[in-house]
Amino acid sequence: MKELSLNILDITENSVKAGATLTEILIVEKGDTLTLTIKDDGCGMSDEILKTVENPFYTTRTTRKVGLGIPLLKMAAEMTGGQVKIVSSTKEIDHGTTVTALFYKNHLDFTPLGDVKETIVTLIQGHPDTDFLFTHQTTNGEIKLDTRELRQILEGVPLDTYEVIVWIKEYLNEQYLTVLDK
């Protein structure tokens, strides 16, 4: 993957496929670290599957929905001296999966974050019926988008309506500009 934002898109697609109603994407940049957390309330994975998702060679066609996504994220994190942790539960209450990846930004092999806005827009466009809570914290400030809030305003109008998608794109653009200007 050329950008971390593409890994984010890829891993979040797994959350949506796991039937998540809400997926939280949290990026925290602090000092020389970048921590990415993708937390969903999907069906979760059993301990057995959890053990195999990090190794691409254990992936068979039946577990193919996981595939190379996690190994690629793990590689990107470990190349910088960081790591990936996955916690998952299939319990009736509080089921879901949380993927946490730690990156060291100053490492030579750090993959640039890239266009996160485009990733968020792509996720909303492709999955207008599920919710995303996106938060990006930098030392300059915070960017936030909660589709549940937008949904409330839009009432019945779908989130993937072109006008809405354009609004979200411009809204995120402005938020990033404001934060970067500081």
Partner 1 sequence: MKSLAELQAIKDKMKDKVVIREGANSTRVVVGMATCGIAAGARPVLGAFVEAVNESGLAQSVTVSQTGCVGLCQYEPIVEVYEAGKEKVTYVKMTADKAKKVVEKHLKGGKVVVEYTVANCE
Binding site for partner 1 (CB under 8 A): 1, 6, 9-10, 13, 17, 64-65, 67-69, 72, 118-119, 121-122, 125-127, 149-150, 153-158, 161-165, 167, 170-171, 174
In this complex, which beta carbon is closest to partner 1, that of residue 1 or of residue 28? Answer: 1
What radius of gyration, in Å, describes the C-alpha atoms of the chain? 16
b/e burial code for range 79-108 (CB count within 10 A of at least 16 → b): ebebebebebbeeeeebbbbbbbbbbeeee
Cα 124 from chain centroid (whole Å)? 12
In this complex, which beta carbon is closest to partner 1, that of residue 105 or of residue 151? Answer: 151
Phi and psi for 97 in degrees, rounded to 5? -130, 140
Q: How far is the CB of 58 from partner 1 (least distance, A)?
A: 16
In this complex, which beta carbon is closest to partner 1, that of residue 9 or of residue 20? Answer: 9
Q: How far is the CB of 6 from partner 1 (least distance, A)?
A: 5
